[in-house]
A = this chain, B = another copy of it.
Amino acid sequence: MLNNSIKVIFMLGAYNGVILDIDLTNERIEGKKLDESAAKLFVGGKGLGTYYLAKELRPKADPLGPDNIFILATGPLTGTSAPSSGRWTVVTKSPLTEIYLDSQVGGFFGAYLKHAGYDLVLIKGKANSPVYIYIDKEHVEIVDASDLWGKGCFETERILKEKHGKDTSVGSIGPAGERMVKFATITFDRGRQTGRGGTGAVWGSKNLKAIVVKSAKAEIEYAYPEKFREAVKKAVKKINLHPFIPIRKLYGTPIWVDRVSSAGLLPTRNFQNGSFENVDKICATTMRLEIVERDMACFGCPVPCWKYSKVKDGKYAGTEVIGPEYETIALMGSNCGISSIEAIAYANALADDLGLDTISTGVVIAWAMECYEKGIIRKEDMGNIELTFGNEEAWIEMIKKIAYREEIGDILAEGVWRASKKIGKGSENFAPHVKGMEIPGYDPRGSFGMALAYATSDRGACHQRAWTVKMETYGMLGARFSYENRAKIVKEIQDERAVCFSLVLCDFMPLDPLDFVEMLNAATGFNCTIDEYLKVGERIWNLARIFSIREKGISRKDDYLPPRFYEEILPSTGYHIDKNEFNRMLDEYYKLRGWDENGIPTKEKLKELQLDEFMSFI
């Protein structure tokens, strides 16, 4: 137990200046001072998380071994009055991809952590038996969690809130995390997840069932309080004037379901098509009319985009879930041939409770469905489940089998990359992943920008690092099906997002880097220019890259999509990814990044980015 959390003298505004360092193996809890120069170079959230992971993780550590480090990171704007300041980050080495992983998450946990007095939490080692960590402003404690082990996230959260009060935020793993399913999540605030890459499996490997943070009064000292207030006011005004905001408020992310299906890139039946014939049954309007009960928002957000849903009748009656979000509808829905928003809501709740990433779960099940329909996996190997596209019962059964690693679920629990290597028979060609991370809700044959974004994303196929879908389908980049200029755009968005994820603010805010930098400077006193601000993003991106190079020898060979996307034409767009064009785009991207033709950052680039201390990684 650590009593009376430490106070440090920290010169920058809006930080606590304190890192909480927890070693579960020997139950050591320490507070240590955040590195000020690192804060200037990496800001917070994703940036500082990446910095400490790169600095402290033993090379080639087993992601599911006690050596892996799990980092929870707030940023200077987390928990402030900046709009969407409920966002925060986790960073670790991924058991799914065996490379760099970060995950951005909303809700309340990050703000509470910040208000409790910590900027970052580093979790190391492995507890002997199940534990949870309790954090409040006065003390931090590792508590026995043997009685919680085996329980779902919802029940775990309920019990811990009963014990520690409603004014807490809880993150917990379910049966999937306990069994180290490679794409297990941690469920925070009942409905928010660190979704991708197996964060829940890392907790499971450490015997860490949950973390509870108690809410406290925010005592954030800003460098220029008045300037900060002004900058926030300006940003909020801008948000409220943006034409997309009322649409987002009403529908949240699912607004994209029918748009993306119309645009021909909604994953359908394991990426065999990009438009779903039953899209009306799973689109945002239907969801809103049929199941949404109310709107909810993350801490400090003027745009309540969470949808609290409840199924009123039919066989899923009584289901309550925060969601489903676009990605869940796309991957668990159309990609599995499922045509019922109620069924998707049920599966979503199930996944949240079991602690499974709905994207990876949807992809791996849809892949298994295709394998089954093609005779690659037989019924007897499926545990006698008729896993055809659209079969709701089989699909729900399979979600459970994955979480509990039962029968074929044990193979699917390894993710589509490992499962397809194991099953073989050509199934690797249509296993949708990059670097072992399942491809999310946009078929790259409907967005060439996304093809490059997936291929080069730091954590494997990810839609958040550079989301070009809107720009391309709104006609903002000229011809939609063009490779022109995509490298530049993807590179720029990746950098910009990397630093935004370090503030941490939300993806969905219609703000410019100028707005962000204004708030950052006023809060911290950084006084950085827009170029310096974007340089932070580039620095983080490069550090993540060389981390993965050190860990797994990542290089050009890994920056590709699976064969299906180059070889098969998507019926809904009439395009495949042209391999030559893709290679040209990749060359251009490396060049813009200052990386060599093999995708390795040059020493000059690392020097320019002040990453000297990590030079040995390459």
Seen from chain A, the residues whose Cβ lies within 8 Å of a Cβ on chain B are: 243-244, 246-247, 250-251, 255, 258-264, 268, 273-281, 283, 285-286, 289-290, 473-476, 478-482, 569, 571-575
Contact = CB atoms under 8 A, between A and B. Distances in A.
B273 A475 contact: yes
B575 A574 contact: yes
A479 B571 contact: yes
Contacts of A251: 285
Contact of A474 (B259, B279, B290): B279
A285 B250 contact: yes
Contact of A247 (B275, B276, B280): B280
Nearest to A279: B474
Nearest to A268: B475
A480 B246 contact: no
Contacts of A574: 479-482, 574-575
Given A251-B285, A259-B258, A289-B250, A478 B571 contact: yes
A576 to B, nearest CB: 12
Contacts of A482: 574
17 contacts: A243-B278, A246-B285, A247-B280, A250-B289, A255-B285, A259-B259, A261-B474, A263-B263, A264-B480, A275-B480, A276-B474, A475-B571, A475-B572, A479-B569, A481-B573, A481-B574, A574-B574
B275 A475 contact: yes
A284 to B, nearest CB: 9
A263 B258 CA distance: 10
Contacts of A571: 475, 478-480
**A243, A251, A279: most-surrounded residue (chain B CB, <10 A):** A243
Contact of A473 (B243, B247, B275, B474): B275
Closest CB pairs A-B (n = 4): A275-B475, A481-B574, A262-B263, A262-B262
Contact of A480 (B259, B479, B572): B572
A84 to B, nearest CB: 19
Nearest to A478: B571
A276 B480 CA distance: 12
Contacts of A264: 263, 473, 480
A260 B273 CA distance: 18
A457 to B, nearest CB: 24
Nearest to A341: B243
Nearest to A255: B285
